[in-house]
Amino acid sequence: MLATLTYFQAIVMGLLQGITELFPVSSLGHSVLVPALLGWHNLVNSQSQTESFFLAFIVGLHVGTAIGLIVYYRSTWATLFRGLGKQLREAREKGLASLWQLSDPTMDKNYHLLFLLAIGTIPVGIAGVLLEHKLRVLFAKPLAAAIFLTINGVILLVGERLRRTRGRHVARQGLETVSAKKAFSIGSSQILALFAGISRSGTAMVAGLLGGLDHEEAANFSFLLATPVILLAGLYKLPDLMGSLGNGVRTQTVVGALFAGVAAYVAVRFLVRWFTTKTLIPFGIYSLVVGLLCVVRFA
């Protein structure tokens, strides 16, 4: 029996994924809550199954989202990889140890950032492989997603509060001075996003803010860090879509992924400008209010 997924549902879910993956309000949480609120039982019933077409569909949307991010940051990624090439050439003269000596003032600054992004990807990558499927099946339920979305609001609001309180005591850092330990810490914060309702970009931004980054730098680092994580997670699970789980939903997934990519591009373009002058507080309030309302609705 073929899975049932309409093109309208695919488009709505694609737009939802692309926007909420970058907005710090949890794409996974919204992918659980919105179908339940709209009465899309074909999607709701499949979300918490061990093997389902909906999980394969979401994988396709993640790939589309990552492509949207890559298109927006294409010049940045090109610059980072040129830095890698330059550093590799210098390593021939200085030795391979120069590739990870971040304290070396002669290290190419673009390679430095690329190295930090690689370090930040490690913890969530390992956790994703080991826990992502289990946690998604266990907590992909409307009430659980509502509770975690409420917690997401608390994280964002408390994070902003702590940033203001600690701002007097924590020296402001630029991305060029972020340590490997700090990058690992920011990357590790994304593990919380394995719980449906907690935002990947939100937790990473809070970790960055508490580490001394300003909102714009924290946002850019978060979005750059999310790109390989989302892309690799999608490609890792892509065989599910190519297999029997994708029967009946492959074309809809392609359509949804296209809309997710466009939505992600528009979302990141808006948010980069937003965080030049504004904070996480509106997103924290949104998560808290909508989360509590959904807790009441699904309790």
Residue that wins the pLDDT comparison between 63 and 99: 63
Non-local CB neighbours of 16 within 8 Å, separated by 6+ positions: 27, 30, 31, 34, 263
The Cα angle at residue 240 between residues 242 and 4, in degrees rounded to 5: 80
Cβ neighbours around 86 below 10 Å, total: 14
Q: What percent of the chain has pLDDT over 90?
A: 54
Contact 116/183 with Cβ under 8 angstroms?
yes
For residues 6-12, average pLDDT: 94
pLDDT band at 1 (very low <50, low <70, confident <90, very high): very low
**pTM given for the model:** 0.89
pLDDT by residue (tens digit) across 232-241?
888 877 787 7
Structure tokens that stand for 29 in this block: 């949480």
pLDDT by residue (tens digit) across 95-149?
676 677 766 777 788 888 998 999 999 998 888 878 776 777 666 789 999 999 9
| Choice among 89-98, 178-187, 237-246, 290-299 with the minimum mean pLDDT | 89-98
Q: What is the phi/psi pair of residue 49, to 5°? A: -75, 150
For residues 264-283, average pLDDT: 95
Query: Is the four-CA dihedral 246, 43, 145, 218 of positive or negative sign?
Result: positive
Please choose, from the candidates 243, 230, 231, the residue with its C-alpha nearest in 3D space to the C-alpha of residue 51.
243
Contact 176/112 with Cβ under 8 angstroms?
yes
- Alpha carbon distance 121, 91 (integer Å): 23
- Alpha carbon distance 220, 143 (integer Å): 32
Query: Is the four-CA dihedral 15, 267, 220, 207 of positive or negative sign?
Result: negative
Residue that wins the pLDDT comparison between 128 and 24: 24
- Alpha carbon distance 198, 235 (integer Å): 22
